[in-house]
Structures are given as structure tokens and as C-alpha cells.
Amino acid sequence: MSKYLPIIKEIFSTLIKNDIGIEINSSGLRQKIGLTLPDEYYVRLYKELGGKILTVGSDAHCTQDLGKGIPEAIELARNVGFTELAFFKKRNPTFISIK
């Protein structure tokens, strides 16, 4: 897929080993790219490598964009096999069901 795939796998493996999650950022859905960041391929890869901590965010810089694309990001998470999303309390992940 990418000449950087081995590096990305190594980064994801390091994140997973250290209980660090990734975010599905929905801002790309409202931009020319039209995809979440990361896109489904990389979210699936993170999951396949054992990733469990996943958050979603809209990266809103104005109130009009607040929450835009979150339903699509949650659907992507479900599509790749996640049943929970994380949010943080005092820097510790708490999980909520997205079944």
C-alpha cells in the first residue's frame, strides 16, 4: 500500500505496547480529501495489530464544525471491528460501547 507501511506498523505496535491509542479525526470529511484521518485502511491495521484505544474527534476550529463527521467516524470504527470508543478522565481511558 505504501512504502511507509513497515514504519507505520512499527509506530502502531509501539503505541499499542505502551497503551496509547489513536484518534479518528473527522475533519478530512469536510475538506477536499473527503476521508477521515487516518482513513479506514489504517484504522483497520491498528485494530489488526491489537489496538484497543480509539477516540473520535471533529477537530473543530469553529462552532459550525463542532461534531461534524462524528457519526461517520463511529460507523468506521464499527466497520473495522471496534465495539468501544475511549474518552479520558484524568488521563486514563474510559470506554463506552458503540454496539
Say how far apart CA 34 and CA 98 lie, in whole Å. Answer: 23
DSSP string for 28-56: GGGSTT-S-BS-HHHHHHHHHTT---EEE
Write out pLDDT tens, residues 51-81.
999 999 999 999 999 999 999 999 999 999 9
What's the one-letter identity of residue 61? H
Beta-bridge partner residues of 84: 97
Q: What is the pTM of this model?
A: 0.93
